[in-house]
Structure 1
């Protein structure tokens, strides 16, 4: 999704209650012993309070911060379409207490910026799309799903280490060390993509939404799906009969080696594509926008890349 108004940004429930909560969040909370929250935060054992818009970025923070961070991920349900999420006053309160905030950006989670501004937050904010340096191609739209781009995630790891080090200078070296270890594992994932590219460069794949495109492009694969189809599915709008038939023909004519589809969203037209791939004996690779239960970021992405390699080898 991009910042275009036709897209589906994550929803925000606005109202006077948000302003009220913003005011509440700025006041000190007193403990039973009379000490303030700020007194507790200054102790050597206090954790850095971090809020992430999704559990993808929340897990990255946990990998780097370890026991030094207390992370809240706003969107974490693997069975829910993240685009249907409705932010509420509890999210406002949570954000108001954060020392560090990590958002995706690119129009994906605009509610975070709006809530931070309404609450006059002083949190250190990391915007993944801004850190990535990615922009929309000429005449096209930005693919904001940058967590599928491993070089971008490496940049985010460095940004997280820097932000945590600023909040907790005594442990800055630990955060830098953890980020280096995390990036080394990302390099291993890039090597897997390079191997796919070596074996399958130029082969076609189909998608339902742009979610996996950074991964498939890095693997040397060519997306054959009409842009009108994937854009309409992502926006939740109808696909024209002509574009739908062009898309289905990719499978009946076996123009693609695999379908890489967003398993977190589903509709009649995307289901038709999945059924067309199945009928043609073309393997399907499900991907998601948030972490599946029981997975961390690295394990999740390893499964995704391995599943892609296995599908292409069939």
Structure 2
């Protein structure tokens, strides 16, 4: 579900735009990182809003894409990222842009107004995921493997459009990537066979596509996870209801977003540990030293291991 304005990734300011016009760069210390330091004209310039999509694009590009991931610090809450002139400059040069969409990284669309020629891939739109009736969209589609497969195809198509001579290579690389997603889906099916219908708790909706595909039932009060995601305080009653999930042994595991930890989520995590209920940590961006496939393999394995205890 989209975060409230207070937790949206911050938009570039008018003052920063003025700086961009004057100097074209900024030393503001953003989390922007480039997977390749060059601006080689022989490579397709790709900008991804997070290193999740940057890693996938790099894999599909196979060395023929110069990929920049805007948000890549695993120790930072992605919602606290402040876009700056370096972000604007990178987006202004991109041939292909990959954004999550769904309200997660709105700064990308705002900044792309200066680069109408970029091929833009919106992962949420590509996924086809929509809000449930009477509910809100869960925009964290990178935890949904069928959606990620669709995004891979879209990346291959966009790269192929930018470099037609290499289109077949990009398609082949996307197919190879999708083949490696299949074992992850098989693991979800295995979890569903063993633990389908069992309850879990979450701190935020980040992992719900994964847990849902694994047949698990989220028993967390919606008011709790929504408040945490939007950066709001949880009411005492809702917090008490959430803590009761652990003291009453209503859930088999707590899936905990490590990148947005606060006093109330720490209290929930402590309650789970005190009750002997496993805590499964997840993040919104790639941990250091892991690519997308290794990261998701760790997540699925950790979930299965917790449920088997």
TM-score relative to the length of structure 2: 0.92
- 2:252 is the counterpart of 1:257: yes
The answer to whether structure 1 residue 14 and structure 2 residue 13 are counterparts is yes
Which residue of 2 is the match for residue 129 of structure 1?
Answer: 124
Aligned with 1:237 (options 232, 239, 247): 232
- Runs of 4+ in structure 1 deviating by more than 3 angstroms, as ranges, are 4-7, 19-25
How far 1:121 moved relative to its partner? 3.2
- In the alignment, what sits opposite 1:304? 299
CA distance, structure 1, for counterparts of residue 5 and residue 259 of structure 2:
20
Task: Call closer, same or farther: CA 1:71–1:114 in 2, change over 3 Å.
Answer: same
- Quote the residue 2:156 is aligned against: 161
1:18 CA displacement = 1.8
Counterpart contact for 1:193–1:215, Cα < 8 Å:
yes
Give 1:287's match in structure 2, choosing from 282, 285, 292. Answer: 282
Does 2:139 match 1:140? no
Query: Which residue of the partner structure matches residue 95 of structure 1?
Result: 91
CA 1:134–1:61 in structure 2 vs 1: closer, same or farther (change >3 Å)? Answer: same
Alpha-carbon distance between aligned partners in 2 of 1:228 and 1:7, rounded to the nearest angstrom: 17
Cα distance in 2, alignment partners of residues 80 and 273 from structure 1? 20
Q: Which has the larger radius of gyration?
A: 1
- Residue 23 (structure 1) shift: 9.5
Partner of 1:213: 208
Q: Which runs of 5+ in 2 are unaligned?
A: 25-37
Over the aligned positions, Cα root-mean-square deviation in angstroms equals 1.7
Q: Secondary structure at the match of 2:134?
A: coil
Count of residues paired in the alignment: 296
The offset of 1:139, in angstroms, is: 1.5
Deviations 1:112-168, CA, capped at 9 Å, x for gaps: 000001x13311000000101111112211110000000000000000000000001
Counterpart in the other structure of 1:313: 308
Contact 2:93 2:115 in 1 (8 A): no
Deviation at 1:265, TM superposition (A): 1.2
CA distance in 2, matches of 1:149, 1:258: 20
- 1:241–1:185 distance in 2 versus 1, CA, 3 Å: same
Match of 1:201 in 2: 196
Aligned to 2:28: none
| 1:120 aligned partner | 115
